[in-house]
Amino acid sequence: MSEEILTTQDLHLYYGDKEALKGINLDFTEKGITALIGPSGCGKSTYLRTLNRMNDLIPNVTITGTIKFKDQDLYSPNADTVQIRKEIGMVFQQPNPFPFSIYDNVIYGLRIAGEKDKEKLDAVVEKSLRQAAVWDEVKDHLHESALALSGGQQQRVCIARVLAVSPEIILLDEPTSALDPVSSSQIEATLLNLRHDYTIIIVTHNLQQASRIADRTAFFMNGELVEVDQTKNIFMNPAKKQTEDYISGRFG
Amino acid sequence: MNSKTQNKIAIGALYGIAGFVVLILLALLGYILVSGMPQLSWHFLTAPAKAFLKGGGVGVQLFNSFYLLFLAMLISFPIALGAAIYLYEYAKDNWLTTTIRTAIEILSSLPSVVVGLFGFLFFVVKLRLGFSILSGAFALTFFNLPLLTRSIEDSLRTISETQREGGLALGLSRWETVTKVILPAAVPSILTGVILSAGRVFGEAAALIYTAGQSAPALNFMDWNPFNISSPLNPMRPAETLAVHIWKINSEGIMPDAKAISSGSSAVLVLAILIFNFAARYLGKRLYKRLTSA
């Protein structure tokens, strides 16, 4: 059993008066893929965004409970959100490359952090793009705008951009829901490659996707964590009735 | 009447309205250019004005207009940029920011003659800057700030929220996200706003009559020491601009060719703004390319 890298205890989140997360207890061990599934509005994306404090950007959000990343309390008053987000990167539903070249997109985090060594940057670009399985497609036009790429390529460049700052955890918020099936399966292949080196947490609407790539799956409903287990168990032999109903398509 | 006919009537009406607007514009522009172009010559553009005799030019006024525009932008752009970034990227929606926004809105609808009189009382008299380029530039700053702030804020608003999330999720601080991601992406739109407000500033007369003054002392274009009174760069000299010049010769001009000079000046003003627009647009595209993709 590997070490727990991220733990959440009794996590509540309120949008104004509305309670969106009702006491989540969920731990993540190092490496591997955990999928968060559940019907729309169940709180899985909200939960994901608490893990690198992206919910800070939304006004009127109150969060109670503790999230610990390697014994560091993410919500302690002196937590450094910038540092946290370097170690816990995020990929979004809509591919959001910056309006720069592919090369600049990938090294953006590093360059702003002050890295100037051209050789090192070149190496990082190649390594990250290879890891994100998009190198072969873009290697000949690294200095063209990333906006000219297809949606699937853009999304993989966004993954490469996150990899370039070498995070420990990568959060993905429905990364394939805006993509066509071919691009989606390329992203899935990318994630399967990365699962040995990174702790990956992915929110997905697509149950097949979860069953294909995730080692563990957590089922959310109405702001509560219903069940979390090995993916195989969740899909073949769920412990809770609600999970079974959802998996078998009886609602949601 | 079926929806097809309705559609046709609507399109026809819209074409009519658009055509009407274009017609007015073309007529105005045509009138200014047709009556003004024949006056234009190298002499007219460079010679100093004459008070009583014919054959004067607008060289000094033209230079003053550009110099004032430059100074006014130099002062107002950083302030407007900072204010816009604060309002859009940092400030929370509360009574304070609502008050600031309302104040900006009210300030932007202030008649420019009021801005001019305020500038006269405050900068010219109270701060003893006299009728000077500096007083004029400050008055123009007041005149320009609200619009520029609004337009930059609107430019920032056009940049998708996903870009901000992308920057922050990459471990950039908010400031780095704004300066390294949002601003480069917003440059063309910001530049358009700056051009539009520059056009307004360039053509502004009422705010300058009582601040930059209505006299254009002869300048020595060989002397670039800003501390000399005849130097074009001296910010403490009175400086009649082109727009003020047009107003003045139409209201009290006693040179025999006042009408011709006024027409010529108007044409210069319009052409300058046109050239300025195209140049800035071209620059904006170049800048965007350089900032966004290698």
Scored b (16 or more CB within 10 A) or e, A164-197 reads bbbbbbbbbbbbbebbeeebbebbbebbeebbee
DSSP string covering A61-115: EEEEEEEEETTEETTSTT--HHHHHHHEEEE-SS----SSBHHHHHHHHHHHTT-
Average pLDDT for runs of 10 along chain B of length 294:
89 96 94 90 84 80 91 94 92 87 88 92 90 92 91 92 89 89 88 86 89 81 79 85 90 84 91 84 79 62
Give the span between the Cα atoms of B3 and B14, in whole angstroms.
Answer: 16
Pairwise CB contact (< 8 Å): A98 & B165: no
Q: What is the pLDDT of residue A2?
A: 58
Cβ proximity of A218 and A224 under 8 Å: no
pLDDT one-digit tens code per residue, B137-190:
999 998 899 999 999 999 999 998 889 988 998 888 889 999 988 998 898 889
Report CA-CA distances (Å) from A40 to A53, A220, B183: 21, 10, 34
Angle at B152 between CA B85 and CA B21, to 5 degrees: 165
* Residue range A86-92: mean pLDDT, rounded: 91
CB of B293 within 8 Å of any CB in chain A?
A: yes
* Residue range A51-65: mean pLDDT, rounded: 85
- In B273-292, the residues whose Cβ lies within 8 Å of chain A are 292
**Of A23, A36, A26, residue with least CA distance to A6:** A26
Q: Name which of A87, A108, A165 to mutate to probe chain B: the one with the most chain B Cβ atoms within 10 A of its Cβ.
A: A108
* Residue range A219-231: mean pLDDT, rounded: 89
Q: What are the structural domains of chain A?
A: 4-247 (3.40.50.300)
Which tokens go with A70?
């390697």
Which of A101, A104, A161 has the CB atom closest to B170's CB atom?
A161
pLDDT one-digit tens code per residue, A173-198:
998 888 888 888 888 988 998 899 99
Pairwise CB contact (< 8 Å): A85 & B173: no
Which of B168, B170, B184 has the CB atom closest to A165's CB atom?
B170
Q: Name which of A87, A96, A103, A168 to mutate to probe chain B: the one with the most chain B Cβ atoms within 10 A of its Cβ.
A: A96
Q: What are the structural domains of chain B?
A: 40-292 (1.10.3720.10)
CB of A59 within 8 Å of any CB in chain B?
A: yes
Q: What is the pLDDT of residue A131?
A: 86
Give the DSSP letter of residue A145: B
Cβ proximity of A41 and A225 under 8 Å: no
Pairwise CB contact (< 8 Å): B176 & A112: yes
Q: What is the pLDDT of residue B45?
A: 86
pLDDT one-digit tens code per residue, B227-243:
777 788 888 888 889 99
Cβ proximity of A132 and A117 under 8 Å: no
Pairwise CB contact (< 8 Å): A158 & B166: yes
* Residue range A18-46: mean pLDDT, rounded: 88
CB of B171 within 8 Å of any CB in chain A?
A: yes
Q: What is the pLDDT of residue B282?
A: 84
Q: Which residues of A touch B184 (CB under 8 A)?
A: 99-100
Q: What is the pLDDT of residue A199?
A: 92
**Of B88, B80, B86, residue with least CA distance to B144:** B80
Model confidence band, residue A158 (pLDDT cutoffs 50, 70, 90)? very high
Cβ proximity of A214 and A231 under 8 Å: yes
Q: Residue A15 above 60 pLDDT?
A: yes
Model confidence band, residue A114 (pLDDT cutoffs 50, 70, 90)? confident
CB of A46 within 8 Å of any CB in chain B?
A: no
CB of A155 within 8 Å of any CB in chain B?
A: no
3-state secondary structure A186-239: HHHHHHHHHCCCCEEEEECCCHHHHHHHCCEEEEEECCEEEEEEEHHHHHHCCC
Cβ proximity of B190 and B65 under 8 Å: no
Averaged pLDDT score across all residues of chain A: 88
**Of B204, B171, B192, B218, residue with least CA distance to B277:** B192
Q: What is the pLDDT of residue A1?
A: 46
Which of A94, A99, A162 has the CB atom closest to B170's CB atom?
A162
CB of B179 within 8 Å of any CB in chain A?
A: no
